[in-house]
Amino acid sequence: MTLSSASAASLGCSVAYSTQSQWSGGFVANLVISNTGSSAINGWTLTFTFPGDQKVTNAWSATVTQSGENVTAVAASYNADIAAGSSTNFGFQGTWTTSDAIPTGFAVNGVACGASSSGSASASPTATATATASASATATTTSASPTATATGTGTTSSVAPQLHVSGNKLVDASGNTFIPHGVDRSGTEYECVQGYGIFDGPSDQASITAMKSWGPVNAVRVPLNEACWNGESYVNSAYSGATYQQAIVNYVNLLNANGIVAILDLHWTDGTYTGNSSGCSSAEATCQKPMPDAAGAIPFWTSVAQTFKGNDAVIFDLFNEPYASRATGDTTTGWSCWLNGGTCNGIGYQVAGMQSMVNAVRSTGASNVLMLGGEEYSNDLTDWLAYEPTDPDGNLAASWHSYNFNTCSNSSCWTSQVAPVIAKVPVVPGEIGENDCAGSYVDSLTSWLESENTGFLAWTWDDWSGGCSSGPTLITDYTGTPTNYGAAYKAILGALG
């Protein structure tokens, strides 16, 4: 791109490159582009050069392509404009074999930029580099050259494990058993469709650091809204479609960079349902439905799978809490609807069954572990094994939810109904909790789960008005101050070491 002298004179920029996480063979980088010129940048393309053999594997908040050592990052729609004196950022994950040298030659829209770069504490770089060139008044000045390079020192990776199913266990790429312990992060299922935003509360590094301060949190479940991801017309465009998708991608990447597995859950879907236990009469994705709708859920999972395939540190929870049996009127037809979908008694829309959603994910080439919740709001696993879908990758896990107000809420039921499933396939308790602002239920439940070498995630890491009296919420602020219920769960996590 060639700029006129006048355009180049008004464009000034600097780029701050930082290594957020680094290990032998890989890294996560963040780049901050600052507009130091006198006029706004309306649409930016950043170019730079890798001196080493780094390869970009995925990126967020920009479209990043690479040709040899030359890298090009093009702004996303929501961060394309940078006002004078303002900045924006994007990030990426990459690999390297022989050298992780600091990039050089940063330029925005063809104009060379001053740059600085550094490693994070977790990256343990051996040196830092500061570029000495300032932003150029023309598009042809010499690029900045850093005075030193930073290379990884073989520190342990903080990136989340790549998971698959082996027998009745989740295991990482080395075959080590992975037992998930963590929290649910509610908000991304309702904020967008209600017109408030995307996240309910912060989604930054500080908020994740607060979660990790409670103990060995290695999994976070993120509820999603079908209509927001698909960009349906009734959702505010500021919070849907590509913008919503990118926000989820950014959060997943940040979780993964912190060593945390992300569980993406299809929580709310379209479909008119006014039968037994109806949550709302709306056809829109504003409440829990008995099963997902084929018209929206299949495109949803196809898109989500295409977005995250190749990253097995992301688990797909196909549907939050099925209750097809309540809609159809009996257990047999309910479980048949659960598996096969289609036309189901009592449900006025075409249902996406578990098998069709498994097929949709696998059709993209994604091999991610899939979680499938049982009946009765994922609390009933009695027929899960009998109705287990076929999966060519053999990467299915049962999702189980357990609260003090559920039917299966005592050790006798857990032993008779849940333990037989644990013996055959991985069981992930994606939601546990209690609605009494206390901790006796989660204390007994987690003790039982630990005796079965099974993990758990607590609902929910949200600061809701009314605290735990408004539901099983763990915190009173996003620095991690616990409710009474949260204090009990924090102690459980802390005891894990």
* CATH assignment of the domain containing 86: 2.60.40.290
CATH of the domain at 480: 3.20.20.80
Task: Quick: pLDDT tens for 428-447.
Answer: 999 999 999 999 999 999 99
Q: How far apart, in whole angstroms, are the C-alpha atoms of residue 377 and residue 299?
A: 23
- Alpha carbon distances (Å) from 288 to 119, 167, 384: 44, 32, 21
State the pLDDT at residue 223: 98
State the pLDDT at residue 19: 78
Give the torsion sign (CA, 232, 237, 242, 247): negative
For residue 162, give the DSSP letter. P
Structure tokens at 165: 């199913």
Range name among 2-11, 137-146, 311-320 with the lowest pLDDT average: 137-146
Number of structural domains, the chain?
2
* Mean pLDDT taken over the chain: 87
- Alpha carbon distances (Å) from 25 to 55, 119, 126, 129: 10, 15, 15, 20
Do 364 and 435 have their domain in common?
A: yes
Task: Answer yes or no: is 321 within a domain.
Answer: yes
Task: Answer yes or no: is 146 within a domain.
Answer: no
Band (pLDDT 50/70/90 cuts) for residue 149 is very low
| Cβ atoms 181, 456 nearer than 8 A | yes
Do 34 and 98 have their domain in common?
A: yes
Give the torsion sign (CA, 410, 416, 421, 426): positive
State which of 130, 156, 184 marks the end of a domain: 130
Q: Which residue has the higher pLDDT, 358 or 79?
A: 358
Task: Answer yes or no: is 141 within a domain.
Answer: no
Question: Going along 70-128, which residue ranges are E strands?
Answer: 70-75, 81-82, 87-95, 104-108, 111-112, 114-119
Q: Which residue has the higher pLDDT, 6 or 231?
A: 231
Give the torsion sign (CA, 77, 364, 305, 349): positive
Task: Quick: pLDDT tens for 65-111.
Answer: 999 999 999 998 778 889 888 888 888 878 888 888 889 999 999 99
- For the chain, percent of residues with pLDDT exceeding 90: 75
Give the torsion sign (CA, 161, 163, 169, 175): negative
State the pLDDT at residue 93: 79
Task: Quick: pLDDT tens for 452-486.
Answer: 999 999 999 999 988 888 889 999 999 999 999 99
Task: Answer yes or no: is 358 within a domain.
Answer: yes
For residue 488, give the DSSP letter. H
Do 40 and 122 have their domain in common?
A: yes
